[in-house]
Structure 1
Amino acid sequence: MALQNLGYSDQELAEGPYAEFYNPEIGAMQEQVKEALLARNQAHELFPPVEEAASMVEPGYWPVETGYTRAPDSAIRVFCLTKMPRVTPAMWDWWFGWHGCEARRYKLWHPKAHIEAKWADGRDDEAYIGRTSLITEYLGPNIAKAGISFLPPSAMCFDERRLAAQGEVVVCARVGMPGSPLKAGWLLHQLRPVEGGSEMRSRMWMGGANSAIGEDPGALARGAIRMLRPVASTLLPDPAELLVHNAQEMAHLAGFLPELHARFGPEAKRQAA
């Protein structure tokens, strides 16, 4: 797939419904990301495993909020904190359902990396939990394809009533290979309100014990994936490139998400009805 699949065409810029929100320039990375890239691969003990994800509902922070590591089982763990002035958690909850309906929306998120997104079920409604988004994008210099299967927060043991009481949104997903039962890992974005806006705490646990064959693998599948893990670890993305990609796309979209939400979000639809 060629680079011309990136970005908006001249016609989309002239006539597309989202053209005023398309900004091909990605701003500088936030300071915590720059520091993490200088630190490079850190001790895996500083990065809790996926089994501790639900503890993110507690106040405070983990030992490392932005950085990456390789665990002893060859898994990678990539964490990223993104500061988002003016943004509410509800805006991101809306975005995750809205963006997957067409490539032009997906390209707003990261104009230098995103190529295509579509729902596996072919529907164009704006829900995301219980659905799989088929994405094509650049990770570093390489094109990657993935199936992002969104799950309710309870699937990762979050107390959903407590999240609601705290005004938080947690987006949870299994990351798989399109057309395959292989699940490469877990993806999580926690949005919690802070003074002046929100912060996103992203978590990616990929490879190693995070891999599985199917949603509820039996003994045979569990044995097979254990044998495949050494090979599968060589197919994982570079954790530094994954950190950069996440940091860029989240900060970029946050810069205009309030205006985008005001134009196309639920309130705009109610007023137009």
Structure 2
Amino acid sequence: MADAAEPRADPGRRPHLGMQVGELDGKWYAKYWNPVMAPLPQHVREALALGPQAPPLCLEFDAAGTLGDAGHHDLENGYGLFDDGSMHTATLTRMPGVSPAMLDWWFWWHATETQRYKLWNPRAHVYAAWSGAPADRDAPYRERYIGGTSFVDEYVGSALGELAIRFVRPSRFGFSEDGLDPAEATAVCGVVGLSRVPLDWGYLIHHVRRVKDGSEMRSRFWMGGKYVAPREGASLPGKLEAAAEGLRKLGAEQARAMVVHCSQEMNHLAAFLPGIFDEFTRRARRDEP
């Protein structure tokens, strides 16, 4: 794992969950803040009730590009655990009225301000900032986040993670980019690491494709175990080794929390994304010279 931004160093920051008084003052998107989140969809609750699934049902990372194929996989909701301590999670989110291009826009736009990030998951998101995001505001939406690193703090279950998510080209994860016309499909691909130490511990993909009434998002995470590695050839002394050891052995609690977190935030996003995207584009057109 490589191509990373430097670890974050901001010891004076005091993050908090939720919106504080005045935090949204003057923000045009303030009306999209809604701290009430819908219950988990029935298909996700049923998958969690089954517990860990057989490893052969899980998508191998080397075959991640097959998410771009027609149809569905054996495991679209749920999780699997592996002997090396790693886990794989899968979550399907139905997104009426949402286009793949909206998701490409969101993954660029949301990380510019912490308040935007909090819109996405009011019960879990704490902090967000970009490092190295492309500056060309006229580029296609996908090009605006690829190559950047999003520093985010968020709760997954009861654990607060301080993460660095490096967005990479879909082709790096096995997708044919010729098959990712933003009008029909996109694949948001990232390397997940820690933000304060140079350590990576997994991969994420959100594959989004058009369906009859909007889009469906098929999210996949591969975390822990063999995916834990020092960044850019760093060795593992002291603090880094301790962090790595804590991530090498993941279990059902972490996997379940990841499925719940992903389903909650993506369903919440789907509820307001068409509206906020439409308003953003109207404002952008109005501000054009």
User: Normalized against structure 2, the TM-score is what?
Assistant: 0.84
Q: 1:261 maps to which residue?
A: 277
CA contact (8 A) 1:12 1:19 kept: no
- Amino acid of the residue matched to residue 228 of structure 2? S
CA contact (8 A) 2:190 2:203 kept: yes
Q: Distance in 1 between matches of 2:128 and 2:52?
A: 31
Sort the Cα spacing of 1:166 and 1:47 in 2 relative to 1 into closer, same or farther, 3 A: farther
1:215-254 to 2 correspondence within 5 Å? Answer: 232-234=247-249, 238-254=254-270
Q: Distance in 2 between matches of 1:57 and 1:123?
A: 26
Sort the Cα spacing of 1:141 and 1:125 in 2 relative to 1 into closer, same or farther, 3 A: farther
- Amino acid of the residue matched to residue 166 of structure 2? S
Q: Distance in 1 between matches of 2:228 and 2:15?
A: 33
SS at match of 2:22: helix
- Amino acid of the residue matched to residue 286 of structure 2? Q
User: How far did 1:181 drift?
Assistant: 2.6
CA contact (8 A) 1:182 1:211 kept: yes
Structure 2 unaligned runs (5+)?
1-11, 138-143
Q: 2:7 maps to which residue?
A: none
Sort the Cα spacing of 1:15 and 1:198 in 2 relative to 1 into closer, same or farther, 3 A: same
User: How far did 1:180 drift?
Assistant: 2.6
Which of 227, 236, 239 is matched with 1:210 structurally?
227
User: How far did 1:14 drift?
Assistant: 5.2
Which of 198, 212, 216 is matched with 1:199 structurally?
216
User: How far did 1:120 drift?
Assistant: 2.4
Q: Distance in 1 between matches of 2:132 and 2:118?
A: 20
Q: 1:271 maps to which residue?
A: 286
Q: Distance in 2 between matches of 1:63 and 1:70?
A: 15
1:29-68 to 2 correspondence within 5 Å? Answer: 29-68=40-79
- Amino acid of the residue matched to residue 204 of structure 2? L
Q: Distance in 2 between matches of 1:195 and 1:125?
A: 33
Q: Distance in 1 between matches of 2:124 and 2:16?
A: 10
1:18 aligns with 2:35: no
Q: Distance in 2 between matches of 1:165 and 1:123?
A: 18
1:120-199 to 2 correspondence within 5 Å? Answer: 120-121=131-132, 127-164=144-181, 167-199=184-216
Q: 1:86 maps to which residue?
A: 97
User: How far did 1:53 drift?
Assistant: 0.2
More divergent stretch after superposition (34-43 vs 145-154)? 34-43
Q: Distance in 2 between matches of 1:76 and 1:28?
A: 24
Aligned-residue identity in percent: 38
CA contact (8 A) 2:17 2:123 kept: yes
Q: Distance in 1 between matches of 2:191 and 2:182?
A: 25
- Amino acid of the residue matched to residue 144 of structure 1? G
Task: Give every structure 1 segment of 4 or more consecutive aligned residues whose post-TM-superposition deviation is greater than 6 Å.
Answer: 122-126
Structure 1 unaligned runs (5+)?
none
User: How far did 1:75 drift?
Assistant: 0.5
Q: More relative contact order in 1 or in 2 (CA 8 Å, sep 6+)? A: 2
More divergent stretch after superposition (147-156 vs 175-184)? 175-184
Q: Distance in 1 between matches of 2:183 and 2:127?
A: 34
SS at match of 2:181: helix
User: Normalized against structure 1, the TM-score is what?
Assistant: 0.88
User: How far did 1:263 drift?
Assistant: 1.2
More divergent stretch after superposition (74-83 vs 204-213)? 204-213
Q: Distance in 2 between matches of 1:121 and 1:149?
A: 10
- Amino acid of the residue matched to residue 92 of structure 2? L
SS at match of 2:180: helix
Which of 111, 122, 125 is matched with 1:114 structurally?
125
